[in-house]
Amino acid sequence: MARKDDLIALIRPVVDGLGYIFWGLEYFVQGRRSLLRIYIDAEEGITVDDCEKVSRQVSGVLDVEDPIKSEYVLEVSSPGWDRPLYEVWQYRQFIGETIELRLSTPFEGRRKFKGVLSSVEDTDEIGLYVDGEEYLFPVEWIEKAKIVPRTDGPATEVTGK
C-alpha cells in the first residue's frame, strides 16, 4: 500500500511544475479499489481543463513510478468553498473563518469541533474559538479540517486578538 507522504512527494513537484498550487491529497483504500484525490489551486481559480491537464501529467508519473499496486481511481479537483486544510500555511490564510475539524484522538471527551479559527502559532498550533472558549490544537492532532462556507456575512469576531 502506498503511503500518503510518498504520494505527496511524488505528486507535488508535478503540480508545482505545471504552475499550480498543490493544495493536498486524500488517499482512500476501499477493498481492491483505491481513490486518490488531488486538490490543486491557482490565483485565478481552477477550471476543468486545469484538472484534466494535471490528471494527464500525474497519471503518467504514477504509471512509471507505480506507487499504488492495486486498482485506483484518480480525481483532480479544486479545493472548493468548503476547502480542506492540511498544512499550517493554509490555516494562516483563513484566520477569522469558521472551520470544522476532527481530531485523531479525543480531547476533553470529543473529537469534533466547529468554531472560528482565531490564530496560528509558530509552534504549529491553531487557536479555535468554540462557544466562548479558545482551544489550542497542534496541527498534527488534526485528522481532518475544512472551511465552513459563509452563508450570511462574516464569521463571528474573535475579541482580544
Mean pLDDT of each 10-residue bin along the chain, 161 residues long? 86 97 93 91 96 97 90 94 94 96 95 97 93 94 94 54 37
Strands (E), 42-156: 71-77, 98-107, 110-120, 125-130, 133-138, 142-147
- CATH of 4-77 among 3.10.450.50, 3.40.50.300, 3.30.300.70, 3.40.630.10: 3.30.300.70
- Please give the model's pTM, rounded to 2 decimal places: 0.84
Task: Write down the architecture of domain 88-147 according to CATH.
Answer: Roll (2.30)
Instruction: Return the domain boundaries, the chain.
Output: 4-77, 88-147
Looking at residue 37, its pLDDT comes to 96
Class of residue 3 by CB neighbours under 10 A (exposed 0-12, middle 13-18, buried 19+):
exposed
Looking at residue 68, its pLDDT comes to 86
Quick one: which H or E segment has residue 30? strand 21-30
Looking at residue 152, its pLDDT comes to 66
β-strand pairing of 110-120 with 98-107? antiparallel
Q: How far is CA 113 from CA 34, 81, 88, 109, 116, in A?
A: 28, 19, 18, 11, 10
Grid coordinates of 160: 482580544
